[in-house]
Amino acid sequence: MNAIKRTGVRGGSAAGVSHPCAKRGAKMGRGAFAVRSLPRRGTLKNPGLAVWMAVLPLVAAAPSFPQQVIYQGQGEAVVTVLPKHEGEVPPSVANQDLSIKVNGKSAKVTKWALFQSPGNSVELVLLIDGSARSSLGRQMEDMARFINGLPPNVKAAVGYMDHGRALFAAPLSADHAQVARQLHLPGGSAGSDSSPYFCLSDLAKNWPSKDADARREVVMVTDGVDNYQRGFDPSDPYVEAAITDSVRGRLVVYSIYWKSQGGFGQNENNIGQNFLSEVSQATGGKAFWQGMGNPVSFDPFFDELTRRLRNQYELRFELELVGWDLLLPSSGTPSILPAISSQPL
């Protein structure tokens, strides 16, 4: 059956407070609905906190046709909580500090817990652009140091973007020294990454693990330029598809800007940075860069990323959904990408 046009979310703000909706739609594939950006990042009761939310699909059981019946929907999210000011200790956040809304409706928090036990497994993929400039070799020590410094509960892998695919040097492993040894210069020619967003979609659809409980984190090293659509399009279909696939694949996506071969102009590089920021904000991650050039070192980025991994919470929630609020594909199993925002109390 045809998809019902509903309002969802996959965007995020660049500030620590909520902002008005950005009006723009995006077709999300079969069984999809129109998307309008709402904030994923907001404030809690403590105004000194900033929040990033990686929202996963909301699911409810219902028949295969819309009707005015109330169903119980359930959803989950990975939430990163950090102090606004550098150097401050992240405070403890209690359940009562939260205010969750899904498509404007209040949701009940059923679980709110910091990921801190050794049993909270994490799977992290460092995804490197296949056409990255050879000067990336200067950052190999930084990348190896980051991998070797990961805690024991993190399995990691190094992947390379190659003609629309994410190719792995080795499987995910908790042997960080072995993973670090898989690092090498990509060696691809200009444009060999095809589109970094093709590669991200491929990774999301073919994640190298079946562990449904592990947090999935991605660090992309790329300039973010879409070789199939060089001009700026706020609804770039490949970027939109990568966001959709990442959300459905439960990925939190970070990126580090590094120029590719091919000599793109400043305008295209700026567009690439905008796209990377869009993907990271939509999935609860962050895009890192230093101006329009390559950064001197990755260490400051990896330091913040490590800090973020240590301050992530598991959020589960439920709410009542009326039949028309559900997206009902022909399979009879409805799913919806919830419009979640954290509001001041």
pLDDT-based confidence at 6, cuts 50/70/90? very low
Q: 258 with 327, same domain?
A: no
* CATH at residue 184: 3.40.50.410
User: With 80 as the cut, is the pLDDT of residue 250 above it?
Assistant: yes
Any idea which residue has 């949701």 for tokens?
A: 107
**For position 135, what pLDDT does the model report?**
83
Would you state the structure tokens that stand for residue 267, as one six-digit string?
A: 């305008």
Q: 129 with 273, same domain?
A: yes
Q: 174 with 261, same domain?
A: yes
Higher pLDDT, 333 or 31: 333
Q: 284 with 320, same domain?
A: no
Q: 48 with 175, same domain?
A: no
The percent of residues in the chain predicted with pLDDT above 70, rounded, is 66
**For position 18, what pLDDT does the model report?**
26
Q: 179 with 298, same domain?
A: yes
User: With 70 as the cut, is the pLDDT of residue 139 above it?
Assistant: yes
pLDDT-based confidence at 190, cuts 50/70/90? low
User: What is the SS3 assignment for 277?
Assistant: helix
Question: What pLDDT, in 10s, does the model give residues 292-321?
Answer: 888 999 999 999 999 999 889 888 888 876
Q: 274 with 343, same domain?
A: no
> Is the CA virtual torsion 28, 30, 33, 39 positive or negative?
negative
How do beta strands 154-162 and 122-128 pair?
A: parallel
Exposure string for 255-268, b = 16+ CB within 10 A, e = fewer: bbbbbbbeebeeeb
| Lowest mean pLDDT, pick from 3-12, 90-99, 196-205, 297-306 | 3-12
DSSP 196: H
User: With 70 as the cut, is the pLDDT of residue 262 above it?
Assistant: no
Nearest to 250 by CA among 223, 212, 221, 219: 212
| Lowest mean pLDDT, pick from 106-115, 220-229, 258-267, 269-278 | 258-267
Q: 172 with 251, same domain?
A: yes
Q: 214 with 280, same domain?
A: yes
Domain span at 271: 122-309
User: What is the SS3 assignment for 173?
Assistant: strand
Q: 282 with 341, same domain?
A: no
Q: 66 with 108, same domain?
A: yes
Give how many domains the chain has, as a whole number: 2
For Cα atoms 128, 134, 135, give the angle at the middle one, nearest 5 degrees: 100
Beta strand residue intervals within the chain, DSSP E: 49-55, 58-59, 70-83, 100-102, 105-106, 108-114, 122-128, 154-162, 165-168, 215-222, 251-257, 287-288, 312-322, 335-336, 340-342
Exposure string for 123-159, b = 16+ CB within 10 A, e = fewer: bbbbbbbbbbbeebeebeebbbebbeebeebbbbbbb
**Per mean pLDDT, which of 141-150, 235-244, 253-262, 332-341 is the most reliable?**
141-150
Question: What pLDDT, in 10s, does the model give residues 29-83?
Answer: 222 222 222 333 333 555 555 556 555 555 544 444 444 556 677 888 888 888 8
Model's pTM, two decimal places? Answer: 0.74
**For position 74, what pLDDT does the model report?**
80
Q: What distances in angstroms separate CA 106 from CA 67, 75, 103, 111, one per listed residue? A: 21, 13, 9, 15
Mean pLDDT of 142-154: 96
* Strand arrangement, sheet containing 122-128: 165-168, 154-162, 122-128, 215-222, 251-257, 287-288
**For position 28, what pLDDT does the model report?**
28
| Dihedral, CA of residue 227, residue 229, residue 231 and residue 232, to nearest 10 | -110
Mean pLDDT of 72-99: 79
Q: 130 with 235, same domain?
A: yes
